[in-house]
Structure 1
Amino acid sequence: MTSTLTPEQPTSTAEPVFAGQKSATETFLVKLFAVVPFLALIAAVPLAWGWGLGWVDIGLAALFYSLTCLGVTVGFHRHFTHGAFKANRGLRVGLAVAGSMAMQGPVIGWVADHRRHHAYADREGDPHSPWRYGTSPAALAKGFWHAHMGWMFEREKTNPKRFAPDLLADRDIVAVDRLFPLLTVATLLAPAVLGGLITMSWWGALTAFFWASLVRVAVLHHVTWSVNSICHLVGDRPFEARDKATNFWPLAILSMGESWHNTHHADPTGARHGVLRGQIDISARLIWVFEKLGWATKVRWPKPERLAKLARTPDPRSA
């Protein structure tokens, strides 16, 4: 079963927005998964200076970063949330697994949160708008923290019955959603196991765990969270959108094309976000490969005529 809901279509409005509150255990785990990799990231620079960073660590970190980041960008975001393309069963399950290994939460909850974000973007109800507290410097500083990380520590849970009923009806995706704890263990231990086997040493396993597990997860977390925070505050807005989403080029490669955020909010179901000359969008290129292989169909590539209608009229005062 493929995703059919988009931000431009009504969700199950008979259902409430929230589905109760996170339990104390859930709240603790969110903080644990957010803070521990971040502490590893803080320690990374002095540790790299003195010891323990080799080509095996770099290679494994790059491999797992690419796999899990694309699982989020192509899978969780463009496919499951927005239905930018249809995927065969194998690809659909594979994307759900890869995205889950990014440690950003189970697939159904992730999609429900993101659909709620689009439904209320930069308005009351948006789970992570940096404009939540106002426009003064102090309010925006507080809003930046909220959009970047703070929103995850709140107790309210987005109701998947309202925002992701299609995924709740998909047995494959429900199964992957339930396997999130196991996939979390796998994404942390797999680099260590590979590092140990490649170097045939416990030291290789330890350094791979630090760099390709903890630091890799932390970097990906903050790149993803920066799309929520920075890409609603700083950057260009070449297309008309109902919110303050921006295109922020410095994050384009690390985010696999997600930082062309204004373009995405102007055309949410589009499979390509980097639509202008020179805008690198690795996620869109991977979708193109999947389409050529026959694994992805009905890809919603942006149409020039639609983009022309969405283009903002230049301010004559800037000429």
Structure 2
Amino acid sequence: MNRLASIEIFVAVVESGSFAAAAEKLGIVRSVASRRVKWLEEQLQARLLHRTTRSVALTPAGLQFYRKVREGLGSIRDAEMELHAKRDEATGKLVAGVPMSFGLMHVLPALASFRLSHPNIELEIVFDDAKSDLVKSGIDVSLRISELADSSMVARRLATIRHAIVASPAYLAARGIPLEPPDLGKHDCLVYTMKPQPQRWQFTRADTESVVSVRGGISANNSLAIREILLAGMGISLVPIYLVDQDLRSGALKEVLADWKASDLALSVIYPTRQHVPSTVRAFIAFVEKIVEHSSFSN
């Protein structure tokens, strides 16, 4: 039998005044309560209770034992409550991986609210476009903007990010507006080299598919750099909408070929396990969900 469970039953019997009342309180049958206390007495080789048909009374040995174990059980309950409280209040170190451009444009501007809500979290942000292995890199939770490969990680999709063909008004005035995807072959296309096939741009419209091999004088492995080059009027590019949504609203950039759909990507959060997810990870996920909820870039 479980010694701690038997001690808890003994204490319940003493505090309830009878086996029947203790059994009802604990949700067990009376015979189980009686058998557990009897087993405990055998283990201790001491009689703890005087039993009558209607009540129980502590023996001198039982009184001494009760006083000690009551204090111990109280310490155990306090420790459990403290553990639950710490789990709920989100305390400790958190290493969060975020894509560079999304992190700088959308996570960092909202970071003050996160710190205000969770002052006891020590947050380390790892700007990670390389999609590092979480366990090997010591990352607790990570945002990914890509189609996720099968893995042992837990993944939660937060939003769908569409892509758009954009350029500055000055560039379009000088080079002309492409009306169909093949027209992009005549343009200076800015290529983001972190994509699997960076120079292959694919579009669909209704039942029609168009695949264009693009070229241009500039390529980069950072989408913020692509955005700056677009704003400078030096080319046209296929970019995730979160990168340029403010520029499109202000008119600094213009979308073209809007009736053609480019590939969508998932904005997902991944973390190592579904079991006992730390409160720090849960707090960060809720933080990013709020960013997405108030955004204008997700479908």
Same fold, TM-score > 0.5, yes or no: no
More helix by share: 1
TM-score (norm 2): 0.23
More strand by share: 2
